[in-house]
Amino acid sequence: MNAAMFINEEEVKSVLNWDDTLEATETALRATSERKSVQPPRVFAQIFNTPKWMIAMPGYLEDSRFGGWACKILSGNPQNVHSPTMSANIVLYDEDSGVLKAVLSAIEITSWRTAAASAVATKHLHVRTGKPQKILAIFGCGDQGKAHANCFYHCFNFEEIRLWNRTHQKAANLAAELNNKYHTLKFRAFEGNESCARDADVIVTATSPGPVPIVRSEWLKAGVHINAIGVVTSKGEDKRYELSAETYKNAAVYVDSWEGANKELTGLLEFGAEMKAEIGDVILGNVQSGNKDRSIFQSLGMAAEDCAMARLVYDLHKRKQTKVL
Ligand SMILES: NC(=O)C1=CN([C@@H]2O[C@H](COP(=O)(O)OP(=O)(O)OC[C@H]3O[C@@H](n4cnc5c(N)ncnc54)[C@H](O)[C@@H]3O)[C@@H](O)[C@H]2O)C=CC1
Ligand SMILES: O=C(O)C1=NCCCC1
C-alpha cells in the first residue's frame, strides 16, 4: 500500500476544470436521489456563544468514475479580517479497506463544487425550460460569489452579469478583474441590492446572511430562478436568511438532499414555502414542474459532492504525477 498523500491548494487548483467539476457534481446530485450515496446529517461544533464553527461531513458515493469514501472537515470565523473566513480539508479513504489514501485542501474544491451545483440546478430548472438567460445577478463577492461568476460565465451566455457586495468596492474590483480576464464588459458592479435584483432572470446569493434579507419578493420578475447559497440560521429568535419570507412563499423550493434539508431547513416551512424536490429527482425526470413560476435552489452542500470531487482531484493529480515521472 502506498503512503497517503497530501494534495495542497495549489496542486488542487492546477487540475481543477469546470467540465469535469460539473460532471462530478451532477453525478453526486443524481446519485443522491437514486440512493447511491450515504450522507448522514452533518455535525456542527460551535464554540460557545461565538460565531466560530466547525462542521464534519462524512459520506460515500457509489459511482465508477466519481465514487469515493471521504469526510470533509471545515472550520471558520466569519469575523476574520486578516485570514480566510473558512478552512477546509477532505480526508479520502480506500473504499475497500478504509485505509487513508489522501488529505486534500478543500477551499477551492468547495467553491467549485458549490458553484457547479448551482449551475446544474439552473440548467435543469431554468435554462432547459426555455426561460431567458439575459441577466444574472450575484449577491456577495467573496470566494463563492467569485466562483459562481466564473462558473456561470463558463456554462451559460448571459448578456449582463451584475455583482453586488455589502462593501461596494469589492464588487467593483471583482467586476474589473473578470472583465479583464475574459476581455468583456458583461460584468457590472451595482450599488443597490434592489436595482441589482430587478429584471434579473437568474440570481445567486452567496453572503453570510445578516438579520435583514438582501433579496425581496416584490423586486423579482416572474419566472426568476434563485440559487441561495449562504448558510441559513434558524436558532430561537436568531433567524437569518438571504431571501425574504415572501420570496420563499412565492416559489417552489428545491434542495440538494432531503437528509440535510430535513435537519437544517425546517425554518422555511414557517414561511409557507413549498419544499418541492431534490435536484437529483429533477435531473432524473421524476418531478413535474408545479404551478409556481419561480424556483429557488436552497443549496446546503453535500458530502456526496465532496466525495466526487475528492476522487476527481485525486485521479487527476495522480495522472499528472505519472506524466511528470
Ligand atoms: N451551500 C454550500 O454548499 C456552501 C455555502 N457556503 C456559504 O456561502 C456563503 C458565502 O461564503 P464565502 O463566499 O466563502 O464567504 P466570504 O466570506 O468569502 O464572502 C462572503 C461575502 O458576503 C458579504 N457579507 C458578509 N456578511 C454579509 C451580510 N450580513 N450581508 C450582506 N453581505 C454580507 C461579505 O462582504 C463577503 O464579500 C456563506 O454563508 C457560506 O457559509 C459556503 C460553502 C458552501
Ligand atoms: O457544504 C459545505 O461545504 C458548506 N456548507 C455550508 C457552510 C460552509 C461549507
Q: What pLDDT, on the 0 to 100 scale, is given for residue 57?
A: 98
Q: Which pLDDT band holds residue 147 (cuts at 50, 70, 90)?
A: very high
- For the CA of 305, the closest atom of ligand 2 is 1
Q: Is 325 a residue whose pLDDT tops 70?
A: no
Residue 272: how many CA atoms within 13 Å on its side-chain side? Answer: 6
State the Cα–Cα distance between residues 10 and 105, nearest whole angstrom: 9
Chain centroid to CA 60? 19
Q: 37 near 28, Cβ under 8 Å?
A: yes
Q: What is the pLDDT of residue 225?
A: 98
Cα–Cα distance, 269 to 10 (Å, whole number): 41
N- to C-terminal Cα separation, the chain = 19
* Average pLDDT of the residues of the chain: 95
Closest ligand to residue 84's CA: 1
Task: Tell me the pTM.
Answer: 0.97
Whether 29 lines ligand 1, by a CB cut-off of 6 Å, is: no
Q: Which amino acid is at 131?
A: K
The three cell numbers of residue 214 are 438582501
CA–CA distance, 88 with 97 (Å, rounded to integer): 24
Closest CA to 168 of 194, 143, 141: 141
pLDDT score of 237 more than 80: no
Could you tell me the distance, in angstroms and rounded to a whole number, from the CA of residue 300 to the centre of ligand 2?
6
C-beta 75 within 6 A of ligand 1: no
DSSP 159: S
When pLDDT is cut at 50, 70 and 90, the band that residue 78 belongs to is confident
304 touches ligand 1 (CB under 6 Å)? no
Residue 289, pLDDT score: 67
Q: For residue 273, what are the contacts with CB-CB under 8 A and spacing of at least 6?
A: 248, 249, 251, 253, 296
Interval 286-303 mean pLDDT:
91
Question: Residue 292's pLDDT is what?
Answer: 86
**SS3 state at 37:** strand
Distance 144 CA to ligand 1 centre (A): 7
Ligand 2: which atom is nearest the Cα of residue 86? 8
For Cα atoms 124, 184, 12, give the angle at the middle one, nearest 5 degrees. 60
* pLDDT tens, position by position, 161-180: 999 999 999 999 999 999 99
Instruction: Assess whether the C-beta atom of 207 lies below 6 angstroms from ligand 1.
Output: yes
% of the chain residues with pLDDT over 70? 98
pLDDT tens digits, 4-43? 999 999 999 999 999 999 999 999 999 999 999 999 999 9
CB 70 within 8 A of CB 90: yes
| The amino acid at 243 | L
- Give the mutation target among 207, 214, 226, 243 for probing the ligand 1 site: most ligand atoms within 8 A of CB: 207
DSSP-assigned letters across all residues of 55-83 = EEEEEEE--TTT-EEEEEEEEE-TT-SSS
- Supply the pLDDT for residue 1: 58
Ligand 2 neighbours (beta carbon < 6 A): 74, 110, 231, 301
pLDDT score for 238: 78
**What's the pLDDT at 323?**
80
